[in-house]
A and B are shown apart, each in its own frame.
Chain A
Amino acid sequence: MRAAPFRYVRALDLDEALDALARPGGRVLAGGQSLLPLMHQRKVRCETVVDITRIPELRTTTRSTEGTLTIGAAVTQRQVEGDLTVTEGWPLLSDALAHVGNVTIRNRGTVGGSAAHAEPAAEMPSVLTALNARFEVASEGGTSTIAAPDFFTGRNHTALQRGQLLVRIQLPVMGPAGHAWVEFGPRLDDLPYVGVAAVVRLDGEGAIRTVRVVVAGAGDTPEDATAHFASLVGADPRALPAGDLAECASHTAEGRAVPDSPTVPAGYRRRLIRALARRAVMAAADRAVGRRRGDAGRDRRA
């Protein structure tokens, strides 16, 4: 089906984009890999589509002196996936990106666009939450930064107001950590039913200091399940107590907001959450140990 008629505006700078978006009926077009299918199916209709992909300042990825990674809203997923700075410093992000659609989709789809689209079961919103992302939002009045938990406000809903544009995503230094992204869904390229991001950090003695867990598909927004894994703090990551881990995973799956549908009944979804949360934390703990061993080896050589 053809999209309902709309006007196309190509913004060449930020001011032009903000001006176009300040008027009613405007939607942002970045990669178009989420928006255009919806428009072809007429699930979304709008007056004006504002193409932001030719605004130079939105197409760059930079790293600050403190180490913060800043990804422009129009940087493609494929660009981020292949960026060695990201692979080394934010491996959770590059790992998860490999699961987003397929190469062709990622050639045009943007990390910023995935964030703004805020699909609950998608990889980017939950992974960015697990990485403590901050979202830089521009409007005619200036720029502000929104933390991930405040940015994702509902199913396909963010804190972005009319006239505002997501311009950059900031990722603080991840530091030495073990990470994992685990997902499960019916088809490789489609959204998963459930995905879990886990980041495990160790203390000076090699025991677990923090476990960060964020679940995609457990509700309308990324579900921060970190609190459910508090009992693992202090544990030996090489020998995670199986009973404790299972209990943490079970609590994670007991959330009240777990969606229910004929194709994915809530009970099945809970089983997925439990299984994937366990696997993600185990894999992240494993990587944390491996990383520490590697880092220790490096220190000795120095």
Chain B
Amino acid sequence: MHDAHRIELTVNGRSVTAEVDARTSLVQLLRDQLSLTGTHVGCEHGSCGACTVHVDGSTARGCLVLAVQADGADVLTIEGVSAPGEPLGAVQQAFTHHHALQCGFCTPGFVMSVLEYLDETPCATDLARRRRLSGNWCRCTGYQGVVAAVRQLDAERHI
């Protein structure tokens, strides 16, 4: 059974029209139909955070949003944070500087989460930062570099 739906949404500032099956998730739409493969599929049930994108200004699990639900939405992916050939954004630079990535699989999801966090009241401690980012899992780094990057980004907020 196919239940096809025509949807219109904005992705990284561009208008997009797509035809999706009811059960296509947002991350599947982004990767398979729009070739935006920077957003990754990890656990498919919302735990790991690799699929984290922004929908209408706040983070969402790309695997737990049906593409059809994103009709009319404004979606931001890692490709919209900085384009190829352009300088990296502040979060990406901090991650690079503090060795907050190794294989990079979790990194786009982390960047999207950190971007949202940076609009909130800053955490006072590293423990609070770790808790705030508990929705993004990393198998490589042991998180120390991620925490250091976020600590630096927090310090730079006061400038």
| Cβ < 8 Å to B, chain A residues 1-41 | 1-8, 10, 29, 32-33, 36-37, 39-41
- Set A2, A53, A189: member contacting B69, Cβ < 8 A: A53
Do B69 and A32 have beta carbons less than 8 Å apart?
yes
**Within the assembled complex, what's the spacing in Å between the Cα atoms of A187 and B116?**
22
Given contacts A5-B3, A8-B68, A36-B64, contact A103 B135 (CB under 8 A): yes
| Cβ < 8 Å to A, chain B residues 69-123 | 69, 113, 116-117
**Within the assembled complex, what's the spacing in Å between the Cα atoms of A36 and B65?**
8
- Set B45, B68, B134: member contacting A41, Cβ < 8 A: B45
Please report whether the interface of chain B is mostly helix, strand, loop or mixed according to DSSP. Answer: mixed
| Cβ < 8 Å to B, chain A residues 191-225 | none
- A190–chain B nearest beta-carbon distance, Å: 8
- Set B44, B66, B113: member contacting A104, Cβ < 8 A: B113
Q: Is A124 an interface residue, CB under 8 A from the partner?
A: no
Q: Is A87 an interface residue, CB under 8 A from the partner?
A: no
Of the 9-residue stretches B10-18, B53-61, B139-147, which lies at the interface with chain A? B53-61
Given contacts A8-B22, A37-B46, A40-B45, contact A188 B134 (CB under 8 A): yes
Interface size on B, residues (CB 8 A): 31
Do A7 and B64 have beta carbons less than 8 Å apart?
no
- Set A8, A10, A32, A189: member contacting B135, Cβ < 8 A: A189
Q: Is B132 an interface residue, CB under 8 A from the partner?
A: yes
Do A5 and B23 have beta carbons less than 8 Å apart?
yes
- Residue of B21, B49, B59 most packed against chain A (CB within 10 A): B59
Q: Is B155 an interface residue, CB under 8 A from the partner?
A: no
Q: Is B39 an interface residue, CB under 8 A from the partner?
A: no
Q: Is B131 an interface residue, CB under 8 A from the partner?
A: yes
Do B58 and A107 have beta carbons less than 8 Å apart?
yes
Interface string of A229-255 (1 = CB under 8 A from B): 000000000000000000000000000
Do A104 and B5 have beta carbons less than 8 Å apart?
no
Q: Is A177 an interface residue, CB under 8 A from the partner?
A: no
- B5–chain A nearest beta-carbon distance, Å: 7
A: contact size bracket: 20 to 34
- Set B45, B59, B64: member contacting A103, Cβ < 8 A: B59
Given contacts A49-B22, A104-B113, contact A8 B60 (CB under 8 A): no
Q: Is A172 an interface residue, CB under 8 A from the partner?
A: no
Do A104 and B47 have beta carbons less than 8 Å apart?
no
- Set A1, A8, A78, A188: member contacting B3, Cβ < 8 A: A8
**Within the assembled complex, what's the spacing in Å between the Cα atoms of A61 and B49?**
29
Given contacts A8-B22, A104-B61, A107-B59, contact A189 B47 (CB under 8 A): yes
- A107–chain B nearest beta-carbon distance, Å: 5
Q: Is B1 an interface residue, CB under 8 A from the partner?
A: yes
- B24–chain A nearest beta-carbon distance, Å: 9
With A5-B2, A33-B64, A105-B135 known, 18 other A-B pairs at CB within 8 A are A5-B1, A5-B22, A6-B1, A6-B23, A7-B3, A8-B68, A32-B65, A36-B66, A37-B44, A39-B23, A40-B44, A41-B45, A49-B66, A78-B58, A103-B116, A104-B59, A104-B116, A107-B58
24 of the cross-chain contacts (CB-CB < 8 Å) are A3-B23, A5-B2, A7-B3, A7-B22, A32-B64, A36-B25, A36-B63, A37-B46, A37-B64, A40-B25, A40-B63, A51-B69, A101-B46, A102-B135, A103-B59, A104-B60, A104-B113, A107-B58, A107-B59, A108-B64, A108-B65, A187-B134, A189-B135, A190-B47
B residues near A, CB below 8 A?
A: 1-3, 5, 21-23, 25, 44-47, 49, 52, 58-61, 63-66, 68-69, 113, 116-117, 131-132, 134-135
A residues near B, CB below 8 A?
A: 1-8, 10, 29, 32-33, 36-37, 39-41, 49, 51, 53, 78, 101-105, 107-108, 187-190
What 6 pairs across the A-B complex have the smallest Cβ distances?
Answer: A102-B135, A37-B45, A8-B22, A5-B1, A188-B134, A104-B59
